[in-house]
């Protein structure tokens, strides 16, 4: 599973983008029937390419077959199906009232595609996080240039072949290459950019977009905390936290990054974590068919460096040849340790304890805003306080990562964890802008709007309060 180089022919990126811009200008991507047809073809392609997709995910990340299907292919198919069912409704203009001063008039708002979109995807979910944004771009009526991550080379190659067999390059083009290719792509002008990845690279993407005032959607990372209080169902909390942390060997942007547990139940929670890990992966997770591997040696070395920054309560075994790191729980971790300052992105879970909830809140407020906060508690008032006081892209109570699955729940970050939302209708809106239309009549043309005005300010102020009310 070591990263191999992706070769790609030299491409004239300016010509590629211009070709898509010319194609978009023909209007071929705009009719509802065309969009639905493109989505249906994408769906058929994903189904037809299931076997090579699963093989590529196994090669790149050691993903177990069922985990790969559920977290990658099924998620994409669900996104496509939802868009197909609702697209006509999303495209329908929304009627709205015009101002009194233009009466009689009628207003409407229509969502219009931006034009040419650039989609840059990461390596950890290299199918889902490439194709799910593409679903939104196609449903919205855009053309798109997509670049898979070179860190998952086998999957990137399959994605290119799938896209080339499904779309013309003037509509959707897939470009392979390393970060120099991404930088070359960012040198061109697009109408919108969608990036999923690290916060550091997200800043570079935003800086590149600023040169052309291009709108961006940034789906970034962050340290997603869990809070577990004494009144929580500890067995359920431990199972769900361990499940969410260890999927894809911890290489998930919304995975629980660390846990704050009320001190009185910390030992019981740790014991429940040990039990959950053994139940999920057996006595030797290295032999489990349900546990993945780290993507490459560089990430393996980065993660294993965290293992010495606390007491290994569970796990800690490593195998550099297999890029295997056991499901690991750390205790006695200092807040200043790197494992508490950097996004872990691996199967290592620090567990800290607190005496009062205010202590946990004060520490969390000092940290950058995460993609998600997870609370395990039966206290509804505490859940409301988490929502009101702790900035995050989303909050999930008594579970982890489920907030990603609801098509009516917008997904995205805030601050260091990103900007913009997608999934479901929000994917359609992510790749469109609101365009207003106001139809005015010429039957009435009051003199009150034109100079010279023969009334005083006091009288006009009263009129203005009525005429500008809506």
Span 92-134, pLDDT tens digits: 999 998 887 778 889 999 999 999 999 999 999 999 999 999 9
As a whole number of angstroms, the distance between CA 227 and CA 44 comes to 42
- The three-class DSSP label of residue 310 is coil
Residue 445 pLDDT level (bands cut at 50, 70, 90): confident
Contact 342, 194 (CB under 8 A): no
CA distance linking residue 185 with residue 179, whole number of Å: 10
**Which candidate, 110, 87, 93, places its Cα nearest to that of 34?**
87
pLDDT given for residue 3 in this prediction = 39
Over residues 11-22, mean pLDDT: 96
For the question of residue 219 being annotated catalytic, the response is: yes
Indicate yes or no: pTM above 0.85: yes
- Do 271 and 297 contact (CB within 8 A), yes or no? no
Kindly list the strands in the beta sheet with 394-397, ordered across the sheet, starting from the edge strand earlier in the chain: 311-314, 328-331, 348-354, 256-262, 224-228, 372-376, 394-397
Q: Which of 463, 109, 385 is nearest to 227 (CA)?
A: 385
Q: Residue 224: is its pLDDT beyond 90?
A: yes
Specify whether the CB–CB gap between 404 and 396 falls below 8 A.
Answer: no
Q: Which of 143, 253, 318, 430 is catalytic?
A: 253
Q: Residue 366 and residue 364: Cα distance in Å, rounded?
A: 5
Contact predicate 231/377, CB 8 Å: yes
Mean predicted confidence (pLDDT) in 250-276: 97
CA distance 103 to 112: 26
What is d(CA 196, CA 72) in angstroms, rounded to the nearest whole number? Answer: 15
Across the range 150-173, mean pLDDT stands at 98
The whole-angstrom separation of Cα 53 and Cα 411 is 25
- Minimum mean pLDDT among 4-18, 164-178, 207-221: which range? 4-18
Buried b (16+ CB within 10 A) or exposed e, 107-117: beeebebbbbb
Q: How far is CA 122 from the centre of its chain?
A: 10
Q: Is 232 helix (H, G, I), strand (E, B) or coil?
A: coil
Lowest mean pLDDT among 63-72, 101-110, 259-268, 457-466: 457-466
DSSP 8-state symbol, 439: E
Query: Which 3 state secondary structure label does DSSP give 218?
Result: strand
Question: What gap in Å lies between CA 470 and CA 461, rounded to an integer?
Answer: 15
Q: Give the integer Cα–Cα distance in Å for 38 and 161.
A: 16
pLDDT the model gives residue 467: 66
224-228 and 256-262 beta bridge pairing: parallel
Helix (H) or strand (E) holding 39: helix 32-48
CB contact at 8 A, 142 and 149: no
3-class DSSP state of 225:
strand
Residue whose structure tokens are 């390419």: 49
- The predicted structure's pLDDT at residue 381: 96
Count of C-beta atoms within a 10 Å radius of residue 104: 10
The token pair at 196 is 């999923």
Total Cβ atoms within 10 A of residue 165: 11
* Mean pLDDT for the stretch of residues 306-325: 97
CB 333 within 8 A of CB 352: yes
In terms of DSSP H, where are the helices of 69-111?
Answer: 74-91
Per-residue pLDDT, 98: 83
pLDDT for residue 241: 98
| Rounded distance between C-alpha atoms, residue 62 and residue 460, angstroms | 72
13 three-class SS: helix
d(CA 469, CA 395): 37
For the chain, how are helix, strand and coil distributed in percent, rounded to 5? 45, 20, 35
Q: Identify the burial level of 258 via C-beta atoms within 10 angstroms of its C-beta, where 0-12 means exposed, 13-18 middle and 19 or more buried.
A: buried
CB atoms within 10 A of CB 434: 10
Is 65 part of the annotated catalytic residue set?
Answer: no
The strand ranges marked E within 285-443 are 311-314, 318-319, 324-325, 328-331, 348-354, 372-376, 394-397, 418-419, 432-440
- Per-residue pLDDT reduced to its tens digit, 396-444: 999 999 999 989 999 999 999 999 999 999 999 999 999 999 999 888 8
Residue 385 reports pLDDT greater than 50:
yes
Which whole number is the average pLDDT over 308-327?
97
| pLDDT(9) > 70 | no
Look at residue 4 in the predicted model and tell me its pLDDT. 43
Percentage, residues of the chain above pLDDT 90: 88
| Average pLDDT for the chain | 94
Weakest mean pLDDT among 91-100, 211-220, 244-253, 384-393: 91-100
pLDDT digits (tens, 9 = 90+) for 21-62: 999 999 999 999 999 999 999 999 999 999 999 999 999 999
Burial of 142 (0-12, 13-18, 19+ CB in 10 A): buried
CA 222 to chain centre: 12
Those residues whose C-beta lies under 8 Å from the C-beta of residue 76, and which sit 6 or more positions away, are: 46, 127, 128, 131, 132, 135
* Choice between 459 and 251, residue whose per-residue pLDDT is larger: 251
Catalytic hit among 150, 188, 219, 262:
219
């Amino acid at each position: 599973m070591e990263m191999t180089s992706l070769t790609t022919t030299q491409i004239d990126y300016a010509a590629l983008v211009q070709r898509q811009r010319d194609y978009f200008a023909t209007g071929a991507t705009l009719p509802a029937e065309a969009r639905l047809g493109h989505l249906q073809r994408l769906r058929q392609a994903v189904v037809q390419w299931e076997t090579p997709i699963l093989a590529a995910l196994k090669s790149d990340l050691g993903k177990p077959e069922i985990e790969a299907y559920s977290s990658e292919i099924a998620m994409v198919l669900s996104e496509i199906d939802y868009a197909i069912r609702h697209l006509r409704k999303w495209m329908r203009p929304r009627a709205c009232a015009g101002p009194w001063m233009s009466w009689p008039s009628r207003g409407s708002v229509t969502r219009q595609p931006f034009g040419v979109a650039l989609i840059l995807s990461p390596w950890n979910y290299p199918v889902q996080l490439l194709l799910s944004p593409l679903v939104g771009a196609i449903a919205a009526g855009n053309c798109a240039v997509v670049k898979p991550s070179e860190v998952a080379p086998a999957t990137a190659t399959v994605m290119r072949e799938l896209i080339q067999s499904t779309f013309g390059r003037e509509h959707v083009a897939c470009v392979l290459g390393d970060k120099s290719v991404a930088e070359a792509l960012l040198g061109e002008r697009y109408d919108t950019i969608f990036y999923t990845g690290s916060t550091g690279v997200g800043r570079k993407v935003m800086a590149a977009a600023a040169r052309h005032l291009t709108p961006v959607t940034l789906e970034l990372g962050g340290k997603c905390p869990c809070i577990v209080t004494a009144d929580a169902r500890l067995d359920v909390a431990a199972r769900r936290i361990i499940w969410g942390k260890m999927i894809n060997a911890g290489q998930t942007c919304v995975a629980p990054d660390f846990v704050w547990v009320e001190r009185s139940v910390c030992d019981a929670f740790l014991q429940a974590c040990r039990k959950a890990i053994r139940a999920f992966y057996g006595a030797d997770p290295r032999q489990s068919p349900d546990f993945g591997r780290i993507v490459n040696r560089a990430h393996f070395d980065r993660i294993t460096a965290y293992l010495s920054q606390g007491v290994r309560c569970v796990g800690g075994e490593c195998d550099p040849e297999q890029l295997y790191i056991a499901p690991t729980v750390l205790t006695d971790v200092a807040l200043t340790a790197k494992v508490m300052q950097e996004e872990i992105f691996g199967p290592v879970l620090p567990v800290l304890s607190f005496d009062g909830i205010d202590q946990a809140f004060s520490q969390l407020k000092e940290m950058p805003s995460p993609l998600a906060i997870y609370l395990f508690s039966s206290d509804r008032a505490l859940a409301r306080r988490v929502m009101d006081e702790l900035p995050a892209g989303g909050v999930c109570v008594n579970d982890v990562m489920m907030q990603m699955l609801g098509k009516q729940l917008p997904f995205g970050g805030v601050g260091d964890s990103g900007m913009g939302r997608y999934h479901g209708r929000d994917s359609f809106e992510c790749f469109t802008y609101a365009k207003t239309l106001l139809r005015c009549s010429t039957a009435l043309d009051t003199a009150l709007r034109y100079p010279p005005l023969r009334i005083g300010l006091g009288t006009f102020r009263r009129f203005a309060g009525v005429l500008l009310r809506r």
